[in-house]
C-alpha cells in the first residue's frame, strides 16, 4: 500500500488529524450535553463489550494493518535471511562518520543493507530527503551489530545525520552547525532515468 | 464585606488565614507552591528551546543558542518538569488524600516535609549542574554518555547525580509515608489484616467480585477495605518505587565511573553493555510514563467523577480489576522504546513493544469510559471549573494515548522514533493537557479542604486560565508534532530555521501556556496573599495529621504514632 515513508507519513497526518478533531468534538459535545436540563437521547448506544472489542480490535488491528501495508516491517523482521543487492559497512566514532564511499550509490528498487558500528557512544543512523523528511533511521549502539535492510522504492539524493543525541560535541561550538550532517551521502538513481539511458 | 484595594488583597489575600491551617494542610500547600514555581521554570525553559528552534532570527541572547546551553536546558527540562513539578504536585495531593479518604492520620508530617525539601533541593542541584557546568546527557542517560568526561565536566556529573539521588530519596520517603498510612491498623482499618489491605490495594477483590458475579456466587467482598482512588494510589506507588530503584541504580553506576575517574583510574565504559543498560533503564523509566502516570490519572479521574457527581462510580469492580491488569501491563511494555534498536531481539519488540503496549489502549480506554459514564448518569451537571478541567484531562489522554500507540509499531517507529511527534503529539499533550488538567481539576476540588474554604480571587481568571491553557497546550502539541512528521528530530539543534513555520506556531501556542501559568499564579497569590504565602512555610500551630475527623483515631500499637 505504501511504497515510501513519505506516503505513509502523509496518510498518518490525515488520519490522525481526523481522529484528533473527532475526539475533541465528542468530548466537547459530551460536555455541552452534561449541562443541559432536558436529557438528550444518546445518538448511539455503545454496549460495554462492544467498546472493549473496539479497543482490542484497534490495538491489534493497527499492527496487522501496518504489517501488511508497510513494506519494511516484514523485511526488517526477516532481514537476516534476505540477501541484499548491496552491503555497506559504516563506522562512527568521535562524532564522525566513516563511509565506504562518498556518495554511496545504487539504483532505485535495490535492496541495501547498512551495517553501522559505533566505537564509542550511542548514535542514530538517519537518511533524510532534501526537504528534511525522514527516509529511514535506526539507533546505533556502541559495540553492537546495528544493521538495517531497506528497499529504496524512491530515487533521489539523501543526507545523513545522527538521529540520536550523543552530546553537544555533535555541533560546532560557535555556529551550532551539525557536524555529523553529510550532505548527499546517498544517491539513488531513478529507474526511469536508467531506462532512458 | 468591605472591598479591599488591590495592594491590600495582594498582601492579605481574600480571606485566607494560614494560622488556622493544620500541619497536614500546610505540608500539602508547601509542596503545591514549589510545584507551581517549578512549572513556571519548565514553561520558560520550553519556550526558550522552541524559540531557539525557530532559527537565527530569534530574539534570545546568544548564549541560549549555544549547543552546550541548549542541551543543558533539554537535560534539566524533564527533571524540573516531571520531578520538581509533577511529582511534587501528585505527592502533595496524595499525602493529603490518603489520610482524607482512609479517615486515618498521615503516618508522618515530618517525613512529608522532608519529601518536598529533598525533591526541591535535588531538582535545584540537577538544574545547577546544567546551568553552571553544562552537564547534558539528557534524561535518557544513554550509556556511556553520562560518563563521557571528554564532553562533560566531572563536577557537573557529580552534582547532577547527587541531585537526582536526592529526588529519588524524597520519592522513597513519599512511598514509605503512603504505605505506612494505608497499612496502619487504626480507625476504620483497626480490624483489617495486612492481607485484606493488600488484596484490596492490588485490586484483587474487584477481580474476584467480577469472577463471583460471572459464576453466580455471592460477592467476594461487599465492602472493599480501600476506596478505589486509594487502590490507584497504592497500585501506582508500586511503580513509583521500582522506578526510583532503577534511577538510583543508574545514578550509582554513573557515580562509580565519575569517582573512579576523579581518582585517576580510567575504566572501560564498554564493560557495561549499552543494550542491556538501555533495557534496564527503560524498564524503570517507563514505569513513570506507562505505569504510575496512567494509574494515578485513572484513580484521579474516578475520584473526581464521584466527587463532582456525588454518585457511585460506574462499574467499580471492573475499574478495580483494570488496575490489577495495569500492574502486568506497565511492567512489560518498555521495549516500545527500543523498536529502533536493531540488536534488540525481534520477539521482545513484537511482544513487549507492540502487543502488550497495545493493552494500554484498553486500560486507559476503560478508565475514560468509566469516568464518562459516571458523569453522564449524573446529568444535568453545572459546568464548574473542576468539571471543565476534568474534561480537558480526558481530551489530553484521548489525544495522547493513541498517538503513542500508533508509534509503538515496528513500521511507524522506523520513521517516527526520536522525532518531535513522540515528544509533542504524545507526551507533551499527555503531560500538559492530560495530566495537568486532571491535576488542576483536583486542585479546585481540594482547594476548599486544604485552604479552609478560602474564596478564590477571581472566577474569570480561572476560566481565562482554563481556555488559554487548553488551547495553548493542544495547539503547541499539534504543531510541534506535525514538525515531527516532516522529519524534525526531538533531540537535535536546528540553527537555520529548517522547521521554523511549525516552530513559530508551536511557540505562539506555547506562549499561551506560559501566559496561562501567570494568570493562574496571579489568581492564587491574590487569593492567599503574599503574607499567606509566606505563612504556609511557617510552623503549624495545629499538629493534626488528618482531615475532617472530630478526633484522630489512636495509633496502631505496632506502628509509630503520627508525628509532627
Q: What is the pLDDT of residues A34-64, one digit of tens each?
A: 998 876 666 667 788 898 999 999 999 999 9
The per-residue pLDDT for range B163-198, each reduced to its tens digit, is: 999 999 999 999 999 999 999 998 888 888 999 999
Question: Does the distance separating the beta carbons of B275 and A144 come in below 8 Å?
Answer: yes
> What sign has the CA pseudo-torsion A41, A42, A43, A46?
negative
Domain end position, chosen among A69, A96, A119: A69
Give φ, ψ of A4 to 5 degrees.
-130, 165
- Say if the Cβ atoms of B379 and A34 lie within 8 Å: yes
Please give the Cα distance from B407 to B336 (Å, whole number).
Answer: 8
Give the per-residue pLDDT at B114. 98
Q: From the CA of B348, how many Å to the nearest CA of chain A?
A: 12
Domain limits of chain B?
9-51+414-545
pLDDT at site A42: 66
Who among A77, A144, A175 is closest to B343 (CB)? Answer: A144
* A-B C-beta contacts closer than 8 Å: 215
CA-based nearest residue in chain A for residue B409: A63
B398 CA: distance to closest CA in chain A (Å): 7
- HSE-up of B335 (CA within 13 Å, CB side)? 21
- Beta-carbon contacts of B534 under 8 Å, excluding residues fewer than 6 positions away, are none
Tell me the β-bridge partners of A148: A114
Q: What is the pLDDT of residues B458-488, one digit of tens each?
A: 999 999 999 999 999 999 999 999 999 999 9
Same-domain check for residues A61 and A140: no
Neighbour-count burial of B386, counting CB atoms closer than 10 A to its CB (0-12 exposed, 13-18 middle, 19+ buried):
buried
Of A27, A47, A69, at which residue does a domain stop?
A69
Query: Based on the domain organization, do A45 and A85 belong to the same domain?
Result: no
Domain ranges, residue A144: 81-196
Q: Give pLDDT, residue A37.
A: 81
Contact state of A138 with B491 under an 8 Å Cβ cutoff: no
Assess whether A64 and A88 both reside in one domain. no
H-type alpha helices, chain A: 5-35, 48-69, 71-77, 191-196
| Contact list, B140 vs chain A (CB under 8 Å) | 165
Please give the residue of chain A at the shortest CA–CA distance from B340.
Answer: A138
Q: Domain for residue A75, yes or no?
A: no
Which of B396, B404, B415 is the best substitution to test chain A (most A C-beta atoms within 10 A)? B415
Instruction: Check whether residue A86 and residue A58 sit in a common domain.
Output: no
Are residue A93 and residue A167 in the same domain, yes or no? yes
Q: What is the pTM of this model?
A: 0.93
Please give the pLDDT value at position A197: 64
Residue from A77, A96, A142 to probe the interface with B (highest B Cβ count within 10 Å)? A142
> Is residue A20 domain-shared with residue A108, that is, in the same domain?
no
Residue A13 lies in a domain: yes
pLDDT digits (tens, 9 = 90+) for B335-370: 999 999 999 999 999 999 999 999 889 989 999 999
* Partners of residue A62 in chain B, C-beta under 8 Å: 358, 405-406, 409
B341 touching A, CB under 8 A? yes
Q: Residue B203: phi, psi to the nearest 5?
A: 80, 10
Number of domains in chain A: 2
Q: Where are the alpha helices (DSSP H) in B148-203?
A: 154-183, 194-201
Q: What is the pLDDT of residue B559?
A: 46
* Mean pLDDT computed over every residue of chain B: 93
Task: Please answer yes or no on whether A63 and B358 come within 8 Å at the CB atom.
Answer: yes
Nearest by CB: B491 against A13, A58, A164: A164
Q: Are residues A89 and A62 in the same domain?
A: no
Would the pLDDT of B557 be above 80? no
Is the model's pLDDT at B561 over the cut of 60? Answer: no
Q: B538 CA to chain A: closest CA distance, Å?
A: 41
Residue A119 shares a structural domain with residue A179: yes
| Contact criterion met (CB < 8 Å) for A30 and B137 | no
- Percentage with pLDDT > 90 across chain B: 82
Residue B546: pLDDT band (50, 70, 90) is confident
**Shortest Cα–Cα distance, A22 to chain B (Å):** 10
What is the average per-residue pLDDT within B27-49? 96
Least trusted range by pLDDT, from B319-328, B435-444, B481-490: B319-328
Last residue of a domain, one of A69, A92, A111: A69
* CATH classification at residue A168: 2.60.40.420
A141: nearest CB among B275, B398, B406: B275
Q: Are residues A44 and A86 in the same domain?
A: no
pLDDT of residue B238: 93
- List, for residues B355-412, the tens digit of each pLDDT value: 999 988 998 999 999 999 999 999 899 999 999 999 999 999 999 999 999 999 999 9
**pLDDT, position B543:** 84
pLDDT beyond 60 at B562: no
Are both A87 and A60 inside the same structural domain? Answer: no
Residue B364 Rama label (left phi>0; alpha psi -120 to 50; beta): alpha
Q: How far apart are the first and last CA of chain B?
A: 36
Indicate if A61 and A101 belong to the same structural domain. no
Q: Which of B394, B399, B493 comes nearest A176 by C-beta?
A: B493
Amino acid at each position: 500500500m505504501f511504497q515510501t515513508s513519505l506516503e505513509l507519513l502523509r496518510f498518518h497526518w490525515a488520519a490522525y488529524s481526523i481522529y484528533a478533531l473527532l475526539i475533541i468534538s465528542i468530548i466537547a459535545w459530551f460536555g455541552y450535553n452534561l449541562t443541559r436540563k432536558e436529557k438528550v437521547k444518546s445518538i448511539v448506544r455503545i454496549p460495554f463489550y462492544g467498546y472493549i472489542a473496539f479497543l482490542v480490535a484497534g490495538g491489534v488491528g493497527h499492527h496487522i494493518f501496518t504489517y501488511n501495508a508497510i513494506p519494511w516491517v516484514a523485511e526488517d523482521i526477516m532481514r537476516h535471511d534476505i540477501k541484499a543487492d548491496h552491503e555497506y559497512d559504516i563506522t562512527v566514532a568521535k562524532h564522525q562518520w566513516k563511509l565506504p564511499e562518498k556518495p554511496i550509490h545504487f539504483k532505485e528498487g535495490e535492496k541495501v543493507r547498512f551495517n553501522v558500528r559505533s566505537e564509542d557512544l550511542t548514535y542514530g543512523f538517519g537518511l533524510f530527503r532534501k526537504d528534511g523528511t525522514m527516509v529511514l533511521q535506526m539507533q546505533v549502539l556502541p559495540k553492537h551489530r546495528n544493521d538495517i535492510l531497506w528497499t529504496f522504492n524512491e530515487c533521489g539524493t539523501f543526507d545523513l545525520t545522527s538521529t540520536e543525541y550523543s552530546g553537544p560535541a555533535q555541533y560546532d561550538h560557535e555556529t551550532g552547525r551539525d557536524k555529523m550532517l553529510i550532505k548527499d551521502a546517498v544517491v539513488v538513481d531513478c529507474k526511469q532515468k536508467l531506462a532512458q539511458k | 464585606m468591605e472591598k479591599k484595594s488591590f495592594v491590600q488583597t495582594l498582601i492579605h489575600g481574600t480571606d485566607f488565614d494560614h494560622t488556622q491551617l493544620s500541619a497536614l494542610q500546610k505540608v500539602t500547600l508547601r509542596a503545591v507552591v514549589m510545584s507551581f514555581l517549578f512549572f513556571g521554570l519548565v514553561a520558560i525553559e520550553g519556550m526558550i528551546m522552541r524559540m531557539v528552534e525557530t532559527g537565527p532570527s530569534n530574539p534570545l541572547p546568544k548564549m541560549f543558542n549555544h549547543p552546550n546551553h541548549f542541551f543543558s536546558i533539554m537535560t534539566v527540562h524533564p527533571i524540573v518538569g516531571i520531578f520538581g513539578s509533577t511529582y511534587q504536585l501528585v505527592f502533595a495531593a496524595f499525602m493529603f488524600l490518603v489520610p482524607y479518604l482512609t479517615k486515618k492520620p498521615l503516618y508522618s508530617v515530618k517525613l512529608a516535609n522532608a519529601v518536598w525539601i529533598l525533591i526541591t533541593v535535588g531538582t535545584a542541584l540537577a538544574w545547577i549542574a546544567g546551568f553552571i557546568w553544562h552537564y547534558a546527557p539528557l534524561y535518557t542517560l544513554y550509556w556511556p554518555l553520562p560518563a563521557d568526561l571528554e564532553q562533560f565536566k566531572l563536577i557537573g556529573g557529580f552534582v547532577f547525580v547527587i541531585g537526582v539521588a536526592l529526588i529519588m530519596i524524597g520519592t522513597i520517603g513519599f512511598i514509605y509515608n503512603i504505605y505506612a498510612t494505608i497499612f496502619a491498623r487504626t480507625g476504620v482499618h483497626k480490624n483489617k489484616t495486612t492481607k485484606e489491605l493488600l488484596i484490596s490495594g492490588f485490586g484483587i477483590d474487584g477481580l474476584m467480585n467480577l469472577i463471583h458475579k460471572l459464576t453466580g456466587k455471592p460477592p467476594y467482598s461487599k465492602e472493599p477495605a480501600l476506596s478505589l482512588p486509594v487502590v490507584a494510589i497504592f497500585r501506582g506507588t508500586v511503580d513509583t518505587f521500582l522506578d526510583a530503584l532503577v534511577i538510583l541504580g543508574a545514578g550509582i553506576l554513573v557515580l562509580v565511573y565519575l569517582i573512579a575517574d576523579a581518582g585517576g583510574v580510567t575504566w572501560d565504559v564498554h564493560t557495561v553493555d549499552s543494550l542491556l543498560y538501555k533495557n534496564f533503564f527503560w524498564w524503570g523509566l517507563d514505569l513513570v510514563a506507562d505505569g504510575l502516570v496512567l494509574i494515578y490519572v485513572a484513580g484521579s479521574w474516578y475520584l473526581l467523577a464521584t466527587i463532582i457527581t456525588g454518585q457511585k462510580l460506574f462499574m467499580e469492580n471492573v475499574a478495580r480489576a483494570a488496575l490489577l491488569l495495569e500492574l502486568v501491563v506497565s511492567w512489560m511494555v518498555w521495549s516500545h522504546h527500543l523498536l529502533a534498536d536493531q540488536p534488540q531481539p525481534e520477539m521482545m519488540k513484537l511482544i513487549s513493544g507492540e502487543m502488550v503496549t497495545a493493552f494500554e489502549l484498553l486500560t486507559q480506554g476503560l478508565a475514560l469510559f468509566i469516568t464518562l459514564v459516571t458523569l453522564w448518569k449524573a446529568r444535568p451537571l453545572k459546568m464548574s471549573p473542576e468539571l471543565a478541567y476534568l474534561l480537558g484531562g480526558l481530551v489530553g489522554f484521548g489525544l495522547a494515548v493513541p498517538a503513542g500507540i500508533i508509534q509503538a509499531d515496528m513500521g511507524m517507529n522506523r520513521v517516527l522514533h526520536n522525532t518531535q511527534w513522540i515528544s509533542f503529539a504524545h507526551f507533551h499533550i499527555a503531560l500538559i493537557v492530560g495530566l495537568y488538567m486532571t491535576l488542576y481539576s483536583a486542585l479546585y476540588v481540594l482547594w476548599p479542604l486544604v485552604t479552609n474554604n478560602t474564596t478564590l480571587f477571581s472566577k474569570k481568571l480561572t476560566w481565562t486560565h482554563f481556555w488559554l491553557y487548553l488551547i495553548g497546550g493542544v495547539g503547541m502539541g499539534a504543531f510541534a508534532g506535525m514538525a515531527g512528521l516532516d522529519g524534525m528530530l526531538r533531540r537535535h539543534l536546528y540553527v537555520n530555521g529548517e522547521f521554523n513555520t511549525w516552530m513559530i506556531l508551536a511557540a505562539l501556542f506555547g506562549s499561551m501556556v506560559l501566559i496561562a501559568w501567570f494568570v493562574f499564579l496571579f489568581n492564587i497569590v491574590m487569593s492567599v496573599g503574599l503574607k499567606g504565602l509566606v505563612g504556609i512555610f511557617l510552623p503549624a500551630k495545629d499538629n493534626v495529621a488528618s482531615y475532617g475527623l472530630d478526633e484522630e483515631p489512636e495509633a496502631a500499637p505496632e506502628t509509630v504514632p503520627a508525628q509532627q
